[in-house]
Amino acid sequence: MTSIKRKVGFLAAALVLAAIFIFALIGVVRNLSANKSIVWDTSWEVTYHGKTSQPKSLAQYRPIQGDAQLGDSLLLETTLPMRLSDYSALHIRLFVSAMDVYLNDEKIYSYGQDLLRDGLMVGSGYHRIELPAGWGGQKLRLKVYAAESGAFDIMPETTILPNQILGVPYSAVHISSSFCIAIFMTLFGAMAMVGGIGAMGFAGYFFRLPLIGFFSFVLGIWTTCYTHEIQLISLDLEFNAILEYAMLYLAPISIELLFVTMRKKKLSGWRWYGLIALPIFNGIFFIVTSVLQLTHVANYSQFLFPFHIYMVVGIAFLMVPGVVYSKKDGLPERISGIGFLLFCLSCIAELVVFNLNRVTPGVDPRGNPIAPWGLLVYLMSLLISYAIYLQRAIVNKTEKDLLSSLAYRDALTGLYNRAKCEQIFDVLNGISSDYAVTSIDMNGLKKLNDTYGHGMGDEQLKAFAKTLSEAFKGIGTPIRMGGDEFLIIVRQEHLNDMDAAFEKMRALQEEASRLLPIPLAASYGTAMRSEVRSTADDVYRRADDRMYKMKKESKDTRKD
């Protein structure tokens, strides 16, 4: 129950932090947005294919039924108001079209004719046009040329900015809550990619974090392009359009790779091969369309329909039971699966709204997009599921490390055991440098056990092991081979420190003996690899022989 409360608390905290960031940014933007701009939506005369009409609202007007042909032109005319001061500006939003702007009969602005003529990408976005002195009451004409078949699905939007706010940035009129979400996703994505790549050097389970970060970063950029707020930093509409499509085509790859890592060893057969095929196909699609775009053979926009088909098929496959979600899955997979479902629903809603303007004039799919909100929810679910996964992975690794440590540790003394010694010997047999092996045998342990019991004998062993550890700290590796037998391995770089270590060992044993029933004492023998020139076992045997020789000599001395 406590674990569930913690996870719910983590989810609530993550959502609250994201909400605070986004709504605080929205508040700042709204403070910046106070101005006296006028959206000039009425009093327009529209001419298309020789037919002229005067719609009550330009935003609610559709000049044609069906798609416009490439290069079709649309003429919009109006008379500018008199009540605003000189040196104002026009902000005209245009959807995948080229445009010429005339004030009376003088052309004052042009965009996209050369791109349209050369078959290059014509972007969507806002055009700022400075008006000369005395513009009030003059005739304004916009001649718009379709760059794509759906160019006239969204009519141009004209905003008049008086000179009092000429210095106000683009954000003062057009920043939206979606842009705030995009900032959050882009900043988080960049930090997650950098942090995740760095963390991968320490543990493999951090591999998911850069993928989540890349997904967030790419779709954050796409959102700024989709809502045209990329113009805060780039006024090149062609580049903005190319970037928008590139990010859109690239984004699914990271999430598909994330699914591959999450479902590895959990899927088999056609589900597993289908899941692997998704990022491969998407990668090929992105590379091919990018090459065609960069070589000016075809534009990204020409592949939008097959991309939508691929996305629908891909989502349908991912929603097949067992591919991205199964009843047997743990909590992390269930959380990310629910988030993915909500994200898919937001994408479907976005597609519906995007195409709704084809039958309902005035619907602006880019004004308040739905997908960024679904993306934010999905990103939160990914973060929460990954945090739970990471917690469990770290706990499992800690448990494995602990069990591994216990398997190679002597339970009584805490020193390495014989199994670890065999591992070290295998390593030593594979190197050419010199080393020393010291075999040590405690004196008097059997007599101590017989007199005071095995409990006191264990205390004697622990005290002896402690003196070995302290004396050879940073110099050698003490090992308990079993019973009262010990071993010390010293690498070449510390061979000259051995005499000082043995001297310290004797001093520590003398100090510790004051609290023990009998003094700590031991016999030991040392052998070098350079003198035996054989395996580590042979070096150990030579050291063992010398230890027994010292033990025998000490017994003979005591008899004398």
Q: CA–CA separation, 103 vs 139, rounded Å?
A: 6
Compute CA distances 299 → 147, 212, 289, 303, whole Å. Answer: 11, 29, 8, 8
Which pLDDT does position 525 carry in this prediction?
A: 92
Phi, psi of 506 (to 5 degrees): -65, -40
Tokens representing 261?
Answer: 């890592």
Please name which of 139, 7, 148 lies closest in space to residue 71, comparing C-alpha atoms.
148
Q: Can you give 79-111 as a three-state secondary structure string?
A: ECCCCCCCCCEEEEEECCEEEEEEECCEEEEEE
DSSP code per residue over 454-503 = HHHHHHHHHHHHHHHHHHTTTTEEEEEEETTEEEEEEEGGGGGGHHHHHH
Helix (H, G, I), strand (E, B) or coil at 160: strand
Q: What is the DSSP letter of 200?
A: T
Which pLDDT does position 403 carry in this prediction?
A: 53
Which pLDDT does position 402 carry in this prediction?
A: 58
Torsion sign, CA atoms 215, 221, 225, 228: positive
Tokens representing 2?
Answer: 């406590």
Which pLDDT does position 560 carry in this prediction?
A: 42
Torsion sign, CA atoms 387, 392, 397, 399: positive
Per-residue pLDDT 10s for the chain (560 aa) are 445 455 445 555 555 555 555 555 445 444 444 455 677 777 888 888 888 888 888 877 777 666 677 778 888 898 887 765 656 778 788 888 888 998 888 888 898 888 888 878 887 777 888 777 777 778 889 998 888 877 777 788 887 776 544 444 444 445 566 777 778 888 888 888 888 787 776 665 567 778 888 888 888 888 888 777 777 777 777 888 888 889 989 988 988 888 888 778 777 888 889 889 999 999 999 999 999 888 888 888 888 888 988 888 888 888 777 777 666 666 777 777 777 777 777 777 776 766 665 555 555 555 566 777 777 777 777 777 777 766 666 666 665 665 566 678 888 888 888 888 888 898 888 888 899 999 999 888 888 888 888 888 888 889 999 999 999 988 889 999 888 899 999 988 888 889 999 999 999 988 988 888 888 888 899 999 988 888 899 999 999 999 988 888 776 555 44
Neighbours of 208 (CB within 10 A): 22
Phi, psi of 548 (to 5 degrees): -65, -35
Ranges of beta strands (E only) in 30-96 are: 38-39, 45-48, 51-53, 73-79, 89-94
CB 120 within 8 A of CB 296: yes
Tokens representing 232?
Answer: 């805060």
Tokens representing 535?
Answer: 């395996």
Q: What is the DSSP letter of 517?
A: S
CB 521 within 8 A of CB 444: yes
Q: CA–CA separation, 443 vs 523, rounded Å?
A: 7
pTM (two decimals): 0.56
Phi, psi of 369 (to 5 degrees): -65, 150
CB 162 within 8 A of CB 150: no
Secondary-structure breakdown of the chain: helix, strand, coil percentages, each rounded to the nearest 5: 60, 15, 25
Helix (H, G, I), strand (E, B) or coil at 46: strand
Q: Position 165: which residue type?
A: I
Q: CA–CA separation, 218 vs 22, rounded Å?
A: 18
Torsion of the alpha carbons at 9, 11, 15 and 21, rounded to the nearest 10: 80
Q: CA–CA separation, 123 vs 136, rounded Å?
A: 30
